[in-house]
Structure 1
Amino acid sequence: MNYAKPRIGLVGSQGSYGRWLRHFFEARMGLEVFGRDPSGETVLSERALIEAVDVLIFCAPIRQTPAVIQHYVKHAAGIERKQLWMDITSIKVVPVAAMLASQAQVVGLHPMSAAPKSPTLRGRAMVVCQARLDTWRPWFEQFLAATEADCVHADADQHDRIMALVQGMVHATHMAQGAVLRELAPAVGGLEGIRPFSSVGYELDSAVTRRILASNPAIYQDIQFENPYVEPMLERLAVHVGALCELVRSGHDTARQQLREKLLDKSRVYVGEQALAEGSYAFERLGYLLADLREPRYISVFLPLDRPGSLRALLSAFEQRGVNLDSIHSSRSAEGELLFRMGLSRDCDADALRDAMLAIERDGIGRVVEAAGVDVSSVNP
């Protein structure tokens, strides 16, 4: 057993997290990775995969994960006793219990995001449920450090209770919003008709709803159906939405006061002044960010990740030519490249901007990905 450089096995290696984990272990930790997936990677049988690895990670669909783990426990038949088994699943009680039926050491993991385009989980939370961990602890700690995730430790039951609120409630409300928009928006011009009237709150909610609708529906189905704590949460949610409907229907002044007391004042006291202030400030910051991203005059530049001082050189290219920047934000393209998006002053000179763009490319500072809102096509290089 090689605790320093273990061989990694991925069950579900062709899924989004399977592919991300393969790249992570190979590129970031320098480890050898073996995989099995019914969608294209079946060279190794289940038994052969278990025999080939030291760490086995299950990254199958939520609904299938417990049965897949049970299947591997039967195939292992004791040869896993010195291994570490982990899963990447949004539900923890049942998968962790299934892994504990093996003789391996067991940890349940839940990264709180879809598989990222970035090489690590920096800036994202990951729930860690240590169920049976001993000799693998030193390597496991190295693994967590390499992910750069903000790790929060919990037992499996605590995780599922919290996920009913963090995931189940959020997804449910946005799926319902999507259905309401589908039914009522056509009467007011559809989604395009609503867009010019958007508030910050609507834009944020709309982004979450569209993200859910654009993603794999099986994930959202399984989060609602496989977590036993979701149903009682939905019942409470329905109670409060139903009560709100009845209060609005009545229209009386007393109903207005009841709405304020039950749905605003009591919750305001529960949340607390400090959290309210922090939330209001976060909302304002997101509003400013959305305003910057709506600015039609901007330039996006890809910078190499491994060149210290490249951002300074980029900004200098604009400064030397008198190009004023209204904002600058970092993000990632659909392909995962790190981009800097810079909003341009409304009086930006096209000649100066074109010169800066040429210098960025010519001097190897970066690659201009996009320029919008300023006509530079007629400017000679």
Structure 2
Amino acid sequence: METAPRIGLVGSEGSYGRWLRRFFEQRMGLRVLGRDPAGDTALSERELIESVDVLVFCAPIRQTPSVIRHYVEQAAGIERGQLWLDITSTKAAPVAAMLNSQAEVVGLHPMSAAPKSATLRGRAMVVCEARVDTWRPWLERFLAAAEADCVRADAEQHDRVMALVQGMVHATHMAQGAVLRELAPEVGGLEGIRPFSSVGYELDVAVTRRILAGNPAIYQDIQFENPYVAPMLERLAVHLDTLRDLVRRGDDDARDQLREQLLDRSRQYAGKASVAEGSYAFERLGYLLADLREPRFINVFLPLDKPGSLRALLSVFEQRNINLDSIHSSRSAEGELLFRIGVSRAGDASALQDAMKAIEAEGIGRVVEASGLAA
């Protein structure tokens, strides 16, 4: 096992391939080589295998098992002593394909799209250790550097869980998107609905729009490439059919059945503690959405990530007697850490304008966006 292994990326031009290159080079100081039909073809498959110690497959879900099988044929034994990893939303088929090699094998599934941040902090990552021995110390260093919340599982368990965590969630939101497309025009379209939004509707529509904004192939493959998704959809359809039939009936007995079959039984299964925790989490998200809807705010980027930077920012408002309603951190599309500061509607507009000027003049930060602050 190399202490500073050379990393090979199969699918180096994809979103995770590009993120992994930055991660390995900048976070771990490792040399990275890649291959991708979308332009990174300087090395052949065989040359890439010969040149690296760790080979990471980050190809499209549908193609990953066949790509791995092709690399096993190309390797023909020279991969002995290497570590092979894959970054894929299904695990059984890719892991089985890698096990046909002579390399050590670990399947990985970060539970998010490639992040804008430098690490996977705050995100879960499933780790399926299929065959790992001499590479274990480096694997643990890699996982520690990634800063993900790692959960160990075997490949089959992963796929069964993903049928619920991904397959079911995506299916219901794709269906919601289709229903909105068909029925929303009758009530003024999406913009006509927006003033009537509940917290639940806003959260659901946010997930639906996130799916629609993503790569369609990913959502196709999650449905078609996981063998446990089809049985899950059968169960989902049964319960939706039951709900439809009960609502069509509309009598008191149907109401009682709906409560008993679709609410009471599920509440009892989840348990009081889990239900209470979920209800509280929903309330917190509601408060967050309310803050983000406030029309008076300032978005500030702090270039210096060090103790005291936020205090310096807040002191600008304190010195001008400006009351803040909320403060939230998030990342821009470019990955910059932003602070969204909600400002009291009763605050003096001239003082707010002065505060924004001071933030930049004193080198504290950069005002990226402001709203509702005109004098």
TM range (shorter): over 0.9
Q: Residue 69 of structure 2 corresponds to which residue in structure 1?
A: 70
* Shift, 1:363, TM fit: 1.6
**Amino acid across the alignment from 2:249:** S
Q: Residue 54 of structure 1 corresponds to which residue in structure 2?
A: 53
Aligned residues: 375
* Shift, 1:360, TM fit: 1.2
Q: Residue 154 of structure 2 corresponds to which residue in structure 1?
A: 155
1:119-130 counterparts in 2 under 5 A? 119-130=118-129
For residues 260-316 of structure 1, the C-alpha deviation after alignment (integer angstroms, 9 at most, x for no partner) is 000000000000000001000000000000000000000000012532210111011
Matched, 1:43 2:42: yes
C-alpha contact 1:113 1:124 (8 A) present in aligned 2:
yes
1:15-30 counterparts in 2 under 5 A? 15-30=14-29
Same amino acid, percent of matched pairs:
80
Q: Residue 308 of structure 1 corresponds to which residue in structure 2?
A: 307
SS at match of 2:163: helix
Q: Residue 379 of structure 1 corresponds to which residue in structure 2?
A: none
SS at match of 1:131: strand
**Amino acid across the alignment from 1:116:** P
Across the aligned residues of Structure 1 and Structure 2, the Cα RMSD in angstroms comes to 0.8
SS at match of 2:30: coil
Q: Structure 1 regions of 5+ residues with no counterpart? A: 377-381
- Label 1:364 to 1:50 Cα distance change in 2 as closer, same or farther (>3 A): same
Q: Residue 85 of structure 1 corresponds to which residue in structure 2?
A: 84
Q: Residue 279 of structure 1 corresponds to which residue in structure 2?
A: 278
Is 315-324 or 52-61 further displaced after alignment?
Answer: 315-324
Q: Residue 324 of structure 1 corresponds to which residue in structure 2?
A: 323
Q: Which whole-Å CA distance do the structure 2 matches of 1:54 and 1:314 have between them?
A: 46
SS at match of 1:326: strand
SS at match of 1:82: coil
* Shift, 1:318, TM fit: 0.9
SS at match of 1:368: strand
C-alpha contact 1:83 1:105 (8 A) present in aligned 2:
yes
C-alpha contact 2:353 2:373 (8 A) present in aligned 1:
no
**TM-score (norm: length of structure 2):** 0.99
1:1-381 counterparts in 2 under 5 A? 2=2, 4-304=3-303, 306-375=305-374
* Shift, 1:150, TM fit: 0.4
> After TM superposition, where is structure 1 displaced by more than 6 Å over at least 4 residues in a row?
none
SS at match of 2:84: strand
Q: Structure 2 regions of 5+ residues with no counterpart? A: none
SS at match of 1:187: helix
**Amino acid across the alignment from 2:280:** Y
Q: Which whole-Å CA distance do the structure 1 matches of 2:367 and 2:306 have between them?
A: 17
C-alpha contact 2:55 2:84 (8 A) present in aligned 1:
yes
C-alpha contact 1:305 1:338 (8 A) present in aligned 2:
no
C-alpha contact 2:9 2:57 (8 A) present in aligned 1:
yes
**Amino acid across the alignment from 1:374:** L
**TM-score (norm: length of structure 1):** 0.97
**Amino acid across the alignment from 1:323:** I
